[in-house]
Amino acid sequence: MVPVNLIVLGLTASTSTGEGNGCGAGKGWTQMTGQLRLDDLLQRYCETAPHALAVAAAVDAIAAAAIEIADLIASGDLADASGLTTGRNSDGDVQRNLDVQADAILRRCLGTLSIAALASEEMREAQIVDRDGRICVAIDPLDGSSNIDINMTVGTIFSILPAPDDLSLAFHQRGSAQLAAGFVTYGPQTSLVLTLGDGVDVFTLDRKAGCFRLARSGVQISEACEEFAINTSNRRHWDPPVRAFIDECLAGIEGPANHDFNMRWIGSLVAEAYRILTRGGVFLYPSDARPGYGDGRLRLVYEAHPMAYIIEQAGGSASTGRERILELSAQSLHQRVPLIMGSINEVRRVEELHCDPLLVASVSAPLFARRGFFRL
């Protein structure tokens, strides 16, 4: 087991309380001055639980890989880090040059650690690495890859699970078994969002020093929100509950929601999640009627599970519309799942609509939905 590259403890960070600039009564977070480094936080965490050293080592390795990937992305075509299509991965998705490079960097950085099993979006099957390892790691090396060639935010997502006795079950565990989860956004800033099971912290890459520094601690998502994210080009394929929810959002102050909504769609799960953690909101990638989209688009093990863990740790909610994402366990590595996540009130509303066809019908009836007829 390679020791974590941990540095001095004892740095103190001065703090101030911030609030999301979004809607609702934002619970806010603690804004940090950036003196506390990821290494410091990992070192403190190392002593907390039997798995903690292995988890800290994996996070440390992923952070090192993220610094390399951030450099690569920033160089773009100059470093042959492009959105050029190189083929398809085992799940049939278009694979870009950068998907392959990010996967190689992460596997090299994680490769020196004692990890029981490793899974990646870019690998056909999970790999058993070290039977004595205490943890299993699942990665989406590059999320939002359709954004690469337009210079928009992409990211890396990771999930860390305990190693079960039977390693063939490594990635068939419930999402609630996760020990840690996080993601990195490669945008104007490179940020690392992390939960070790006790809240959510956001770190910013200090490029000069080559380390991540704590920027926000104890992130909390506001319960209500005024922003939704969904790929509306698929509207005609949606199920009635999803259509009803979005119709409510679009009706704004004149509809049952009784307030206006803004809309964003970046096409990059990491960027949507970062926005929700910053100013609230709700994200939906539901199942729809297109061939191959019966379970939505996003993958359970290395996209929905880690995102759900982070969002719940920040006081939000993540659901298929019918079930809590963290209750689910995958039948296969690349299994897809509908994902609705974000501010708790909006996710609850989507769930209500999924459970109650009469409610859906009432939202769809134009007179009922309008203020002035049935609402005072």
Ligand X SMILES: O=P(O)(O)OC[C@H]1O[C@](O)(COP(=O)(O)O)[C@@H](O)[C@@H]1O
Binding-site annotation: residue ranges: 121, 140, 142-146, 231, 303
Q: Which does 297 bind (CB under 5 to 8 A by kind): Mg ion, ligand X, none?
A: ligand X
Residue 269 binds ligand X, judged by CB under 6 A = yes
Residue 335 binds ligand X, judged by CB under 6 A = no
Residue 122 binds ligand X, judged by CB under 6 A = no
Which of 141/218 has CB closer to ligand X? 141
Give the rounded distance of the alpha carbon of 373 from its chain centre.
41
Question: Can you read off the two tokens belonging to residue 20?
Answer: 């999301």
Name the H helices within the chain: 38-46, 52-75, 97-110, 240-251, 269-279, 305-313, 344-355, 357-364, 366-369
Q: Which does 28 bind (CB under 5 to 8 A by kind): ligand X, Mg ion, none?
A: none
Choose which of 30, 43, 86, 146 interacts with ligand X (CB under 6 A).
Answer: 146
Which of 251/284 has CB closer to ligand X? 284
Of 30-38, 134-142, 179-187, 245-253, which segment contacts Mg ion by CB under 5 A?
134-142
Residues 286-315 that bind ligand X (CB under 6 A): 297
Residues 226-255 that bind ligand X (CB under 6 A): 231
**Whose CA is closest to 61, among 42, 35, 80?**
42
Question: Can you read off the two tokens belonging to residue 67?
Answer: 């610094």
Of 20-28, 118-126, 310-318, 340-348, which segment contacts Mg ion by CB under 5 A?
118-126
Instruction: List the strands of the sheet with 180-186, edge to edge.
Output: 15-18, 29-32, 211-217, 200-206, 190-195, 180-186, 154-162, 135-143, 117-120, 127-128
Choose which of 103, 121, 201, 227 interacts with Mg ion (CB under 5 A).
Answer: 121
Give the Cα separation of 368 and 351 in Å (integer). Answer: 20
Choose which of 39, 60, 140, 288 interacts with Mg ion (CB under 5 A).
Answer: 140
Residues 270-289 that bind ligand X (CB under 6 A): 285
Question: Can you read off the two tokens belonging to residue 339?
Answer: 């994902």
**Whose CA is closest to 159, among 270, 326, 309, 338?**
309
For residue 152, which amino acid is it? Answer: M
Residue that the structure tokens 């965490």 belong to: 45
Choose which of 40, 60, 143, 312 interacts with Mg ion (CB under 5 A).
Answer: 143
Q: What are the beta bridge partners of residue 202?
A: 193, 216
Q: Which does 245 bind (CB under 5 to 8 A by kind): ligand X, Mg ion, none?
A: none
Q: What are phi and psi of 193, to 5 degrees?
A: -105, 130
Residues 91-120 that bind ligand X (CB under 6 A): 93
User: What residue ranges bind Mg ion (CB under 5 A)?
Assistant: 121, 140, 142-143
